[in-house]
């Protein structure tokens, strides 16, 4: 095989691979949900929500957060994170039922 043919094949394969990775990334990213929609989420469903910190308290490696947007929602984070009232955050985690109420167990918290 000629060198130019190999170069074209390698380039085409690389481009196809990059496009496939971009497609997978687009399909696997979480769409943002409203706080009210979390009430109807299935147990252990992956959720992404944004809101404003209404209250945050740290107890060891556990952070309890209440965020608000049009509604309020409780968030549990098994990490020590410093948040103050009024912080804008995005949370990615799993929907859980706790004492008859929906909450999110956070995997990731992003301050805006």
Q: For the segment 40-56, what is each residue's pLDDT rounded down to a tens digit? A: 889 999 999 999 999 99
SS3 of 19-51: the string is HHHHHHHHHHCCCCCCCHHHHHCCCCCEEEEEE
- What fold, for 36-111? OB fold (Dihydrolipoamide Acetyltransferase, E2P) (2.40.50)
Q: Is the CB of residue 96 less than 8 Å from the CB of residue 102?
A: yes
> Residue length, the chain?
112
Q: Is the CB of residue 105 less than 8 Å from the CB of residue 76?
A: yes
Tell the burial category of 106 from Cβ atoms under 10 Å away from its Cβ (0-12, 13-18, 19+): buried
Q: For the segment 48-103, what is each residue's pLDDT rounded down to a tens digit? A: 999 999 999 998 889 999 999 888 999 999 988 889 999 999 999 999 999 989 99
Q: What is the pTM of this model?
A: 0.71
């Amino acid at each position: 095989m000629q060198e130019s043919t190999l170069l074209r094949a390698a380039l085409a394969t690389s481009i196809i691979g990059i496009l496939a990775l971009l497609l997978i990334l687009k399909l696997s990213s979480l769409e943002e949900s409203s706080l009210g929609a979390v009430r109807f989420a299935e147990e252990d469903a992956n959720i992404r929500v944004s809101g404003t910190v209404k209250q945050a308290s740290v107890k060891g490696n556990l952070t309890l957060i209440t965020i608000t947007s049009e509604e309020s929602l409780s968030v549990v984070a098994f990490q020590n994170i410093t948040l103050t009232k009024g912080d804008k955050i995005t949370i990615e985690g799993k929907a859980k039922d706790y004492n008859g109420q929906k909450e999110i167990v956070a995997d990731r918290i992003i301050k805006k």
